[in-house]
Amino acid sequence: DAMVIQNPRYQVTQFGKPVTLSCSQTLNHNVMYWYQQKSSQAPKLLFHYYDKDFNNEADTPDNFQSRRPNTSFCFLDIRSPGLGDAAMYLCATSNSGRTGYSNQPQHFGDGTRLSIL
Amino acid sequence: GQNIDQPTEMTATEGAIVQINCTYQTSGFNGLFWYQQHAGEAPTFLSYNVLDGLEEKGRFSSFLSRSKGYSYLLLKELQMKDSASYLCAVLDSNYQLIWGAGTKLIIKP
């Protein structure tokens, strides 16, 4: 089955220790998204890629970086995690036309729950 | 600013019908999505409305009124597995998805 896969499901890191979360997709979608979601809150968009074009949300902290080495993979790097970064991180994909605009539904991975010690 | 409002929590009985409302104020409109999210899991797509009216899909239906900035999700013949959060999200004029915080639906036997 075509899907969005996130690894790991649970990640524990120490305060200030860099961590990388990964996402892969077999849907062949050209747009990939990273969201942060805290308990009982709306998902908050951090970044999205239209193919290799990177789009950073204005309020995404500099502590968060992303890489998309190819169509199938996308990574979220947190350079110096703080206690406030403990959250569920969701990767999603969708298809869009050449403009990058899409009304297609987003397909989500199961998420990575990040805990900070 | 852009805003999506949904009730925080609702309770319903197994076998009954429940309506979850969503009102929105966004800069432009290119469609409205409903997603289901079980606790600790990722959101899954339920429905998409871009024109006014009711879209029915099995036990779930979604309604949209663009002039009122209003949508609802109707769940019939409720089952225990329908206990989840239901998120409303609107595509604005820039095709940016604006998310509501979700409505936690509790189903009681």
pLDDT of amino acid A98: 59
Q: Which of A42, A44, A108 sits opposite B42 (nearest CB)?
A: A108
The CB density around residue B17, as the number of other CB atoms within 10 Å, is 12
A-contacting residues in B 79-108 (Cβ below 8 Å): 87, 91, 94-97, 99-102, 104
At residue A57, the pLDDT reads 85
A61 or A98, greater pLDDT: A61
Q: Where are the alpha helices (DSSP H) in A1-117?
A: none
* Residue A103 to residue B50, Cβ atoms within 8 A: yes
- Contact indicator for B106, B9 with CB cutoff of 8 Å: yes
B1 touches chain A (CB under 8 A): no
- Tokens describing residue A66: 């992303």
Question: Which residue of B97, B98, B104, B105 to mutate against A (max A Cβ within 10 Å)?
Answer: B97
Work out the average pLDDT over A78-98.
91
Query: What SS3 state is found at A85?
Result: helix
pLDDT > 90 fraction of chain A, expressed in percent and rounded: 75
Q: Quick check: A108 and B44 CB within 8 A?
A: yes
Which residue stretches of chain B have pLDDT < 70?
none
For chain A, the average pLDDT equals 91
DSSP B22-77: EEEE-SS-S-EEEEEE-TTS--EEEEEE-SSEEEEETTEEEEEETTTTEEEEEE-S
Task: Give A87's pLDDT tier (boundaries 50, 70, 90).
Answer: very high
Which of residues A70 and A97 earns the better pLDDT score? A70
Under DSSP, is residue B82 helix (H, G, I), strand (E, B) or coil?
helix
A82, pLDDT greater than 70: yes
Nearest CB to A103 within list B4, B31, B100: B31
User: Out of B42, B45, B97, whose CB is closest to A109?
Assistant: B42
Chain A hits for B104, CB-CB cut-off 8 Å, are 40
pLDDT of A102:
77
Please give the DSSP secondary-structure letter assigned to residue A15: T
- Quote the DSSP letter at residue A105: P
Q: Work out the minimum CA distance from A40 to partner chain B, whole angstroms.
A: 6
pLDDT tens per residue, range A53-78 = 888 888 899 999 999 999 999 999 99
